Structures are given as structure tokens and as C-alpha cells.
Amino acid sequence: MGRVEGKVALITGGASGLGAETARTLAREGAKIVITDVQEELGQKVAAEIPGALFFKHDVRSEEQWQDVVAKTVAAFGKLDVLVNNAGVVRFATVEDLSYADYKFQVEIMLDGTFLGCKYALPKMTKGGGGSIINISSIGGIKGLSVIPAYAAAKGGIISITRSIAVHCQEQGYAIRCNAIAPGGIETPMTAQAVSELAADAPGLEQNRNLGMGQPSDIANAALYLASEESRFMTGAVMVIDNAETIR
């Protein structure tokens, strides 16, 4: 217990799935928690489960809202130590069928949202003496999956921006680490949507059919490691947690 004792963690997309489980896991290990999401009712419910946690309604596409939630976090707890850029969404269609509006919607939430979170968290973390940024990518950003071109573009971009930010922090002498986690199939509301919307033999569901899916705790435990001082020598890395899907 106490692996992140006294740290302040801001988690986007924290109303359900990976974000909610990460919030619970970090809280159990001593962190003070701020959850943000567009799903206000669910987000308030998760925050109510965690003693002292705060919830803010937050569209990660908005620069102004990012400035606001970061400022509110620091006002409430005095600092920001951990940022988990987790908010995500998926729309299924091949590149020929996907609308440009749906493409932009996904990229703005995941890639632009990650950029904005990092941009506005860095000065606060620097002022507080350092921290850890954890960006949630996906194996969809590593391997080719025909039915998620926008999701794959965003998640692949998250891997690249994570590396750029890690190098930037080192060049500037910031005590801030920036890493990414790339999950495979995990049992969350978003993957339940995938299973319900796609045909049983659709490309990309092979692991779900053959190997099963992981649990949110599998990713939350990795986020805990990256948030803690146990990962002090780790930055610019991508933790692939996919039950060997990307190497098969």
C-alpha cells in the first residue's frame, strides 16, 4: 500500500472502463484523485466511491476546459503529479466508408486531447518538482486493423507524441516522465460496443474470439507502476499489454 501516497492524479475519461479502474487503483495506493469526463452522472458516481475525489465535466477537445480543470486541480490539492490521458472513443468503418466528420471527431478526442493535456499539465508539474504523464494508446496504433482507421491514426499519434514529450522534458531538465500504455482487447464498455457492432468474424476481433480479453485492472496496475517512483528510470516507453496479440 501507499505506492503513490500523497500524489495528485488527474484522469480523463474516468467515468467508466479503464479510467474508472485506474482512478480506483491509484486511490487505493494513496493518491488524491480528480476524474474528468463528458459523462457527468457516471463520473460523479465513480468520484463518490473514492474518498475525497473530485469530478469535473470536461470535453478534452476544448483548450479552455483543459486550462480550467488543471487550474481547479491545483487549486484543490496544491499540485499535479500524475496525468492519465485516457479519454477515447471509437467509430467503426473502413477508410472508404468513414466520414471525415467521424474521423476528425475521434482524432480530436484522443490525439488532440492528449496534446492539450500534456501542454497544460507540464507547467504545473514542473512547478511542483516533477511528475508522470501516462498516455493511453492501443495496439490499434501499432498493428493494422481495417475497421478503425481514425482510431488507429489517433492511437499511433499518441505513441509518437509521447516520445516527443519525453525527450522534450529531458532536454529541458524537467523531472517529468512521459510514457504510453498500449492495451489489447480489454473488457470495457467501449470494447463491448465493438463486439456488438461488428460481425463475429470481423477483422480485429481474433483475440476476442481465440484468446479472450483482459480486465481493466490489467491496465490500471500498469498505470500505477508508471505513476509511482518504481518507474523512475522509464520514460518515452510504450507498454504493450495485449496477451501477445501484436506478435502473433
The CATH code of the domain at 8-247 is: 3.40.50.720
Which one, of 89, 177, 92, lies nearest residue 132 by Cα?
177
pLDDT, tens digit, 9 for 90 and up, residues 89-131: 999 899 999 999 999 999 999 999 999 999 999 999 999 999 9
Reported as a single tens digit per residue, the pLDDT across 141-152 is 999 889 999 999
Is residue 151 flagged as an active site residue? Answer: yes
Q: What is the pTM of this model?
A: 0.94
Buried b (16+ CB within 10 A) or exposed e, 137-170: bbbbbbbebebbbbbbbbbbbbbebbbebbeebe
d(C-alpha 160, C-alpha 27), whole Å: 29
Instruction: Tell me the C-alpha distance between 59 and 68, whole Å.
Output: 11
Average pLDDT rounded to a whole number, residues 129-136 = 98
User: 124 and 79 in contact (C-beta within 8 Å)?
Assistant: yes
- Which residue among the candidates 100, 103, 120, 151 is catalytic per the annotation? 151
DSSP 185: S
User: What is the residue extent of each domain of the chain?
Assistant: 8-247
